[in-house]
Structures are given as C-alpha cells and as structure tokens.
Structure 1
Amino acid sequence: MKYFIASDIHGSAYWCRQMLQKFEESGAKRLILLGDLLYHGPRNDLPRDYAPKEVIAMLNPLRDRIYAVRGNCEAEVDQMVLDFPVMADYALLALNGLHIFATHGHIFNEEKLPPLMDGDCLLHGHSHLLKAEKLCENGISFYHLNPGSTSLPKGGNPNSYAILNERRFTVYDFSGKELASIEIS
C-alpha cells in the first residue's frame, strides 16, 4: 500500500495546494502529516501565501484519510478548527509490515530516540532536512526517515514530500525529482 508523507506546511496555502495535488496524483491511500500545519512559528519567515484558514479548508475534507501528529507550532486552538486529531506527540504505525514511530521531531528524533527495536522506523519532520538512511545507535539498527519541509526547506534542500510505497521510502521535490530513497528491509 502507498502512503503520502509531508511535514511543516506552516500555513502556506500555496504549498498545501501543491502537496494535495501530488497526493491525489500519487494514488496514496492515506496522508501522513508530521506537524506544524497552520502556524509559521516565531523563528520562521512567513511562507509563500501564508493563509492558515485556507489550509484548514483544504485539509478538513480529507479528515478520514489523514494521520497527523502535533508539531511544536500546534496549539489547542488548532485542534478546535481541524476535523482530524492533531494533538498527539507521536503515532505508532504498523504499515506494510513496518513498525513506524511517527512524530514531529522536536521531542523525539535521531539524537533523542524513542523506544525502538531493530528494524523499526523513526519518521519525523521538524528539522526541515530530508533524510532516508539506516542508522545504528546503542546496538539498535533503525531507519531514519524525514520528508523534509513542504513550505520552508532548510539546508539548501528544495520543498519536498515523501511516498512510502510498500517498503520503499522516497523523497521527492515538487517537480517529481527523486531526492533520496531507501528500501526498508
């Protein structure tokens, strides 16, 4: 099964529209959102076409197709306007035979690991830096996956999203160019 993964929309109506177009084109069953959906945060510049109310209007009709976790910019007021759960710090997902710890990345990340077992996946956003790698920490081998940022990429990365297709995690830019990929065994 195919899943579409994105993070850090930060209230950009422009990039949310682009993301949803790619989501529909992808044929993915679900949209996994890794936080920072509506607010740009005090450390970020305003993203292109900053319009959180438009982002709300685009995401709410997809409420039955979205899995989401809370980013460091989410607040209780965001949950009041979103029709899908967005306040959990993490989600444990069993997808395509994989065990995935999905989180935003401000609490758990590759430097502050959640409880993982060999072969598990740590999926997060927050850093705005895309990743598709296998790491080993304290004798535990795990997959470190980050789709990058939909609206405010950092580190010279382009705006990006990811697809989990069966056991392959691939990060793309919005022109469709593959940026990183890893087969999860």
Structure 2
Amino acid sequence: MIYLFASDIHGSAYAMHKLLEVFQSSKASKLILLGDLLYHGPRNDLPYEYNPKETSRLQNSVKESLICVKGNCEADVDQMVLEFPVLSDSAIMYLEQLEGRMMYLHHGHKPLPPLSAGTIVVSGHTHIPVAEGKDGLIFINPGSVAIPKDGYPATYCILENRTFRILDFSGTVIKSLTI
C-alpha cells in the first residue's frame, strides 16, 4: 500500500489542490495530515491562495481517506467545518510493510512521550523535511506544502515498499529513507 503524508497546509487552497492531485495520481490509500490544516498562525505570512473555507471543502471531499492529528494552529471550532476528526494530538499506526514497527504521528509542537527504539516518529510543525535515524528512533517530517522554510520547496512524503520519499511538487526526491 501507498501512504501520502503532508503537513502545514495553513489554509492554502492552492497547496491543497496540488496535494489532492498528488493523492489521486499516486494511488495512495490514505492521506495523513499532520496538523495546521486551516490557519496560518501569528508567526507565518499568509500562504499563497489563503482560503481556509475552500481548503476545508477540499479536505472534506476526501474525508474517507484521511487520518489527521491536531496542530498548534488548530482550534476546537475548526471541527465545526471539518467532516473528519482532527482533535487528537497524536495517533499510532502499525503497517505491515514496516514489519510491525510502531509509527507515532503527531504535529511536533509537543514533547514526545517515551517511545521504544525503532519507533518511526512522523511529524510536521518545523516546515523542514527530515528523514533520518537518531537516538534509536526514526524521524520523518514531510516539510510543508504551503509555507516551506530553510530554502526548501513545498514538499510532501510518500511511503511505499518500506521507503519514505520526500518530494516536491515537480516529483523531485528531496530526501529518502528505507526502513
């Protein structure tokens, strides 16, 4: 199975349209959103085509395929316009292709709980792509599809056949890690 990870959409209808194009063309079974779905927050400039209402409509259009965690820019009132749950700070997944390893999903703005060695931690928040092992854990950050930082382009992550590939919207691989 193929999984698509994205974070930090921040209400950009443009970025959400691009992400849905990738979701359709990749034939991913799930779109995993790692928080900061609708609003830009006080530290960020407005993203290109900032339109939280349209962004929520687009997200709702694929609600059956979504797994989401809450970011630091989400508010409880967001749940009123979203037709899928987004109020949990974290989620845990076990995927067959990852040989039973735990995958801990969170936005990244809160401290990690105690995790076993080999756990795959998937987060957003920094807007910077990461694919690396460190201190016995594996860290994946798809970057941001709307407000990338540190000179990176807008990026997302595909998991297929035990390989996490972080790509830009032109399909260029920015980082890759095989588990």
Matched with 2:81 is 81
What RMSD in Å do the two structures reach over aligned CA positions? 0.8
What amino acid is the match of 1:107?
Answer: K
Matched with 2:101 is 98
- TM-score (norm. length: structure 1): 0.93
What do residues 140-175 of structure 1 show as CA deviations (whole Å, max 9, x unaligned)? x11010000010000111100000113111100000
Once residues 156 and 129 of structure 1 are traced to their aligned partners in structure 2, the CA distance between those partners, rounded to angstroms, is 9
Name structure 2 gaps, 5 residues minimum: none
Once residues 10 and 164 of structure 2 are traced to their aligned partners in structure 1, the CA distance between those partners, rounded to angstroms, is 23
What amino acid is the match of 1:143?
Answer: I
Q: Secondary structure, in 3 states, of the residue corresponding to 2:46?
A: coil
Once residues 154 and 161 of structure 1 are traced to their aligned partners in structure 2, the CA distance between those partners, rounded to angstroms, is 13
Once residues 147 and 43 of structure 1 are traced to their aligned partners in structure 2, the CA distance between those partners, rounded to angstroms, is 20
Matched with 1:117 is 116
Matched with 2:152 is 157
What amino acid is the match of 2:165?
Answer: T
User: Structure 1 stretch 94-103 or stretch 151-160: which is displaced more?
Assistant: 94-103
Shift of 1:91: 0.3
Shift of 1:114: 2.2
What do residues 30-56 of structure 1 show as CA deviations (whole Å, max 9, x unaligned)? 000000000010110000000001011
- TM-score (norm. length: structure 2): 0.96
Once residues 68 and 98 of structure 1 are traced to their aligned partners in structure 2, the CA distance between those partners, rounded to angstroms, is 20
Runs of 4+ aligned structure 1 residues displaced above 2 Å come to: none
What amino acid is the match of 2:73?
Answer: C
Q: What fraction of aligned residue pairs are identical, expressed as a percent?
A: 50
Once residues 56 and 173 of structure 1 are traced to their aligned partners in structure 2, the CA distance between those partners, rounded to angstroms, is 22
Once residues 149 and 101 of structure 2 are traced to their aligned partners in structure 1, the CA distance between those partners, rounded to angstroms, is 28
